[in-house]
Structure formats: structure tokens, C-alpha cells
Amino acid sequence: MASAPSSTSASPADGIHLPDTARDLVKILVAGPFGVGKTTLIDSVSEIRPLHTEEHLSEASASVDDLAGVRDKTTTTVAIDFGRVSLAGGVVLYLFGTPGQERFRSLWDDIAYGALGALVLVDSRRIDASFDVLGLVEESGLPYAVAFNAFPDAPRHYGEAQLRRALDLEPGTPMVTCDARDTNSSVDALLALVDHLIATQEAVSR
């Protein structure tokens, strides 16, 4: 993707290796359609310059050929970017920018494996662009929260109830507004998800 970092050195810069205190590695998906602000949000929270992997849309069959340096010319690749932030208490949180198109389904399942949940970014100027990703999240059973990324020319006339109806959200699904360029705002959006996960966990174990 054009917005992904274009060069990462194979000899890592200082700070790329995990801190010795790293114990629990957890991940959250930052999901949404093209250009919604996934990379921007990851960048504003990450302690490392976001990295990316090149993924084949049919990964399983591609691995052996890649090792031999031979590529099937018709294979489509997509860049998946991710960031990392070390938290107190030995937790290292990874954020994976995950495109929501239906054709990314197999890749989606692999990235979603073991994730705590997903933060689904929505651009209120084009709500329907997020329908695919919401479908994928719901099918995968991942708990999620919705964050409206506030672009300056976004329509302000929608009420919360209207937006919820347009996205067909369950009453319990958190919905917040965020500015992906702002660290505090991005952290708040992630917290809306994690607090929701905690509440769900408590409800289940009660």
C-alpha cells in the first residue's frame, strides 16, 4: 500500500527487539476500509516505527516458492502494517492494520487468530465502505468497538442513534469518535474497546 512504510532496515535499529520485561504479547486489530486512518492510528500509538509484512492473498501455497525466491506472477500481495507498544506489567500490545475487503478473508482469519478484539474505524463521509469489515468482524466472532475517525469535512448532522442504525450496531457495542493523528484520542478509542472486553468478561464470569 502506498501509505505503508517503504523501507525497513534488515539490521534493526536500536529498540526494535523486545524489552526483557516482555511477557504477554497481545494484539488488537485496527480494521477498516482503504484510507480510513488505520496506519495513522497505529503510528500515533506505536513505540516503534510501524513495520509491515508483504502478504500473499493465498498464503499457504506461496511459502515454499518464496523461500526458493520463485514467485507466482499472478499472486496478489498486500502490505499489512503493524505497530507495537510496551505497557507496564509486562504486556506488549500489537496493533495490526487490517483491510476489510471480503477478498482478504483468509488473511483476515490468520491475523485475527488469538486477537483480543478489533477497533473498527469508520469514516462518516462514507459509512457504507465499512460494511464489509463489520461483516468480517462479526463472522469471526471478535468482540469490537467502532471509532468514527473525525475528518474535518465529515458531516456533523448525524446523531449517535442514526449512526448506530446505519451500521446496524448492537446496543452494547461501544461507539466513539477519534482523531487518529492524536495519541490520546487513539488511546481512548482503544480503551473503549478494552473496557468493553473487561465488562463482557465480568458479565460472563458473574
Ligand X SMILES: Nc1nc2c(ncn2[C@@H]2O[C@H](COP(=O)(O)OP(=O)(O)OP(=O)(O)O)[C@@H](O)[C@H]2O)c(=O)[nH]1
Residues in contact with other proteins by the rule CB under 8 A: 8-12, 16-18, 20, 22-27, 45, 51-56, 59-60, 62-64, 66-67, 82, 84-85, 87-91, 93-94, 96, 109-111, 113-114, 116, 183-184, 187-188, 190-191, 194-195, 197-198, 201, 205
Beta-strand ranges (E) seen in 33-167 are 51-56, 77-86, 91-99, 117-123, 144-149
Task: Quote the least distance from Cβ 79 to Mg ion, whole Å.
Answer: 8
Rule CB under 6 A: is residue 1 a binding residue for ligand X?
yes
C-beta of residue 36 within 8 angstroms of C-beta of residue 100 = no
User: What are the two backbone dihedrals, phi and then psi, of residue 22, each rounded to the nearest 5 degrees?
Assistant: -60, 125
Task: Quote the least distance from Cβ 88 to other proteins, whole Å.
Answer: 5
Rule CB under 6 A: is residue 109 a binding residue for ligand X?
no
CA distance 164 to 84: 30
Give the strand pairing for 24-32 and 91-99.
parallel
C-beta of residue 102 within 8 angstroms of C-beta of residue 132 = yes
28 bridge partner residues: 95, 117
Rule CB under 6 A: is residue 37 a binding residue for ligand X?
yes
Site string for ligand X, 134-153 (x = CB under 6 A): ---------------xxxx-
Candidates 13-21, 48-56, 59-67, 175-183; binding stretch for ligand X (CB under 6 A)? 175-183
Task: Quote the least distance from Cβ 56 to other proteins, whole Å.
Answer: 6
C-beta of residue 123 within 8 angstroms of C-beta of residue 154 = yes
Residue nearest to ligand X (CB): 37
Site string for ligand X, 12-31 (x = CB under 6 A): --------------------
Q: 43 or 142, CB closer to ligand X?
A: 43
Task: Quote the least distance from Cβ 169 to other proteins, whole Å.
Answer: 21
Q: How many CA atoms, within 13 angstroms, populate the side-chain half-sphere of residue 160?
A: 9
Give ∠ CA 194-189-204 in degrees, rounded to 5.
25
C-beta of residue 57 within 8 angstroms of C-beta of residue 97 = no
Q: How many residues does the chain have?
A: 206
Give the binding site for Mg ion (CB under 5 A). 3, 38-39
Give the binding site for ligand X (CB under 6 A). 1, 3, 32, 34-40, 97, 99, 149-152, 179-181
